[in-house]
């Protein structure tokens, strides 16, 4: 359910910023989006490794 809320919030922000003719507060290319996803994935991997091997 949280995924749907996040998607709805993102779509709302995208519509609002486009309506006001403002630059989107997100990476404009797939490369930027993949970079942000990589940062998140790195955080998840670190937490998994830390909890399994160092707890």
The structure's pTM equals: 0.57
Distance, in Å, from the CA atom of 38 to the CA atom of 7, rounded to the nearest integer, reads 19
Could you give the C-alpha distances from 40 to 21, 23, 47, 52, in angstroms and in order? 29, 23, 11, 19
Domain ranges of the chain: 2-53
Asked whether the CA dihedral 48, 2, 11, 17 is positive or negative, the reply is negative
Contact 52, 45 (CB under 8 A): no
Contacts of 32 (CB under 8 A, 6+ apart): 26
Per-residue pLDDT tens over the stretch 1-45: 888 998 899 889 989 999 999 998 777 788 888 888 899 999 999
């Amino acid at each position: 359910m949280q995924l749907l809320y996040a998607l709805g919030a993102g779509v709302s922000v995208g519509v609002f910023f486009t309506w006001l003719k403002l630059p989107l507060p997100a990476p404009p290319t797939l490369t930027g989006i993949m970079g942000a996803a990589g940062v998140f994935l790195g955080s998840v991997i670190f937490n998994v490794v830390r909890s399994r091997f160092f707890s």
